[in-house]
Amino acid sequence: MRINRDSFALLLATAAVVLVVALGFWKTRGPSTQRLVRADEKRIQSLSQLANEINARYKSRDKQLPDALTDIQRAKFVDPLTAQPFVYSPKPPNHYSLCAAFAASGPKEDRNRDYTFWSHPAGLKCFEFTADESVPAAPYFYY
């Protein structure tokens, strides 16, 4: 059977589309992994907001770290997948850590900002904060 020019062009275009789709899934690691990455991004945003609240409470309460998270904070700032509150550990006089379990490593570096403070491996990661210093800016992701 002889292949004419139109059939060859159709075959070549189909192969190109399949290749581009396959490379897209390889680069983004697929939809299920992207859901986990998005959950990690939400964890970072929540940790940043919680750290800002703890710092504000520290400054308004005669420079005393809270012994534990309030019930409102434990309900408001939770892991997006497990709905468990983050782990808070005060380290007097003005240091504390917030811990969370991450599904994937990240976030990657942004050309405009440095987010190395928020870089993390997959698994448990604790971030160390000083209550009288500003919280490092968290990456903001557009959805």
**142 has pLDDT over 70:** no
Residue 93 lies in a domain: yes
Residue 14 lies in a domain: no
Q: Which of 55, 60, 36 is nearest to 136 (CA)?
A: 55
More confident call, 112 vs 61: 61
Give dist(CA 68, CA 127) in Å, integer: 16
Name the pairing type of β-strands 87-91 and 95-102. antiparallel
Residue 135 lies in a domain: no
Q: What is the mean pLDDT of residues 38-63?
A: 92
Q: 87 Cβ partners below 8 Å, 6+ apart?
A: 97, 98, 99, 100, 126
Residue 88 lies in a domain: yes
Confidence label for 108 from pLDDT (cuts 50, 70 and 90): low
How many domains is the chain partitioned into structurally? Answer: 1
Residue 104 lies in a domain: yes
Residue 3 lies in a domain: no
Range of the domain at 84: 30-130
Mean pLDDT of the chain: 86
User: What pLDDT is stored for residue 48 in this prediction?
Assistant: 95
User: What pLDDT is stored for residue 35 in this prediction?
Assistant: 84
Residue 46 lies in a domain: yes
pTM for the predicted model, two decimal places = 0.76
Residue 17 lies in a domain: no
Q: Which of 95, 86, 84 is nearest to 50 (CA)?
A: 86
